[in-house]
Every structure is written in structure tokens, then in C-alpha cells.
Amino acid sequence: MVAMHVAFAGSPLDRADHLRGDAPAIAALMNVSARLLRMEGLDPVVGDDGALSWGVLAEVADNTELVFLGLLDGRACFAPAPQQGSVAPPNPRLWQALASLSGPDMAIYGMARSLVGWHARHRFCAQCGAPTAPAKGGWQRNCTSEACRAEHFPRTDPVTIMLVEHEGNLLLGRQPRFPAKRFSALAGFVEPGETIEEAVAREVLEEAGVRVRDVSYVTSQPWPFPSSLMIACHSHADNPAITIDANELEDACWFTRAEVAAAMAGDEEAPFIAPPPSAVAYVLLRWWLDNAS
């Protein structure tokens, strides 16, 4: 197995879970030495040096909800929760900003975006509809109704993303929202009552009509749009016949090793454009090229 860099992973923050339930300790950390991750809604503020921009807590209004991200070099780090969240795909302007960030900065931002976005989308109790209030440093929200008092926690949605191999070729697909010529690994959410292996087999069959076997795990990636865990897998198919579900995919094709290598190299003559390096699909393709026999 070769070493793989996965975007949004590898945060240098100490999450300091032991402090989250200690309200006086969190309050004591909210001092002049604390760092505030500057954000515009859910997007990061990037400085002229191409790094995340940090400020002080005094920069935000008194009624702003602050989420405790953890400790960095002994200093407490917080992020402001916006009033409105979003589950829309990231916009091109955001990708341009992220392109300048280092790996550790991307990981810090990804964690912060997932967490503050969850707060913005869960200001009311899903059980009774009453307002909720942050607790445990922002890693929990509690219903304010005395009759309910439900506790709510951030959730991560598991998503399988998989390569399908048949006789040395790879099955890749494209969605209508992709840029022209881009193909990527098939992907889909894990459903209740499903294993990862079952989710891989079901999604490939539903989207491309291909049955797979021998599903194996490769790597994973936190994906903060809005809050998923991409579980990257590899599988094999015995029959290459494709039947596309037009509701899921615009196209699906088998590509040779040489064609995948050309796309990953950015060759203009390649039959498709590879996914961006920030996507775990790119990591999967690189892994396959480096490990395929």
C-alpha cells in the first residue's frame, strides 16, 4: 500500500474532548489568547498568504454562537456558527479558495464547516419543534422545552465511493452536474441496515446495472458538504454489460489502464478528465494505478 494524502484529513487540532463537558473550562478558554477562525457564512476567509485567516473572539457579536474546535499550540480555537446553513454542493469560488490551503488548513476548515453548518441547520428540535441551544462547547444542542429536553448531536453520513474493475479496466461514471468530460468513481449513501459491502454492490447495480464481488476497503475521507464520510472501496465485476440509470448518471464507461493514466496525467488527448485532487476519487484512481498488476 502506498502512502495516500486525503484532503480534509489530518487536522493538527487537539479536539480536547475532555474539556467539552466542562462549561467553566470552556468559558475560561474564551479569553484574549483564544483564536477565532474567520468565516463568511460557511466559507473560509483566506489571507493574502493563502492560509486560513484567524482573529480574536472580540470580532464577533455577543449573540454569535461559538463552537469549540479544539486546541492548537496550546491555544483554544473557535468558529462562529452562521444563522443559515446549506446542503448545496460547494461553489467554484470556494474551490478556488481551498486550492491555496495547506493540508492541515483544509482539515481544520473541513471540520469547522461540518460542525457550524450542523448548528445552523439544527436550531429547532426535531422532536418537538422548540428552539435548541448549544452545549458541550458546541458538540451538542439541547432542546429548550422542559417537556422535551431532547439532546441532539452532530451526525456524519456514510457514503461509499468505489472503483469497479473488470479484466484490467475500470468502470467510471459522470453526473450531469460534472464539468464536461469529467468521469469519476460511482458513489452513494449507505442505507439503514446495510453493510459497506452491501452498499457498494447495491449502488453499482442501481446506477450502472453491474454486479460486483470481492469488495475491499481502500481509504476514507471526511467530506464537509455538508458532513459525510466517504468510504473508498475497490470491487470486481464478472460481466461488463452496463445498464445506466438515467436518474443517477448521464454516462458510464469502462476505461483502460492507459486511458486512466492519461487522464490522471492531465493529457489533453485523454478520453476523460480526472476528478480533482481534493476528491477521494482522485486518490482511488492514483491508488489503482500504483497497485494494479
Tell me: the pLDDT tens digits for 133-189? 999 999 999 999 999 999 999 999 999 999 999 999 999 999 999 999 999 999 999
Q: What percent of the chain has pLDDT over 70?
A: 98
Query: In the prediction, which pLDDT does 163 show?
Result: 98
The pLDDT mean for the chain works out to 95
Query: In the prediction, which pLDDT does 293 show?
Result: 52
Mean pLDDT to the nearest integer, 256-261: 98
Q: Give dist(CA 244, CA 258) in Å, integer.
A: 24
Q: Give dist(CA 228, CA 243) in Å, integer.
A: 28
Domain locations in the chain as residue ranges: 17-121, 157-291
Q: Which three cell numbers mark 229?
A: 464520510
pTM beyond 0.75: yes
**Of the candidates 223, 42, 52, 23, the residue with the CA atom closest to the CA atom of residue 139:** 23
CATH homologous superfamily for the domain 157-291 = Nucleoside Triphosphate Pyrophosphohydrolase (3.90.79.10)
